[in-house]
Copies of this chain bind each other. A is one copy, B any other.
Amino acid sequence: MENITEMLKGVLEGCVLEIISRGETYGYEITQRLRELGFTEIVEGTVYTITIRLEKNNLVNIEKKPSNMGPPRKFYTLNAAGQEQLEIFWRKWEFVSSKINELKTIKIKRREVK
């Protein structure tokens, strides 16, 4: 899918929160999950800027663990604030996406009338 960058603004962070909420995970793995989801163009750098932001905003707990696959991993889990932020995200998504779909539906209706 061509250049969906702008449309991901404001939702990618929510996706990362959601993925972390499933159980502790780290940046590289989150990137892979997002690619599996279909956002195949996502690169590590993008995810790391998000996780660093989550750290800054105190939405996650962090634990560093060694790995036998490479350098140590930084595992993230959601704290209470992160959980709340995730719920807010889904509420916003419900609101915005329903409005956009309404606009789209009305469009179809109008076209049927034509």
User: Which residues of A are at the interface with B, using a C-beta cutoff of 8 A?
Assistant: 1-2, 4-11, 14-15, 18-19, 21-22, 37-39, 88, 90-93, 95-97, 99-104, 107, 110
Contact = CB atoms under 8 A, between A and B. Distances in A.
A83 B8 CA distance: 22
Given A38-B95, A103-B37, A11 B7 contact: yes
A10 B5 contact: yes
Dominant secondary structure of chain A at its interface with chain B: helix
Nearest to A1: B95
A30 B2 CA distance: 27
Contacts of A92: 1-2, 4, 7
A107 B18 contact: yes
B10 A7 contact: yes
Nearest to A13: B6
A100 B7 contact: no
Nearest to A89: B7
B95 A4 contact: yes
Contact of A11 (B1, B5, B38, B100): B100
Contacts of A38: 95, 99, 102
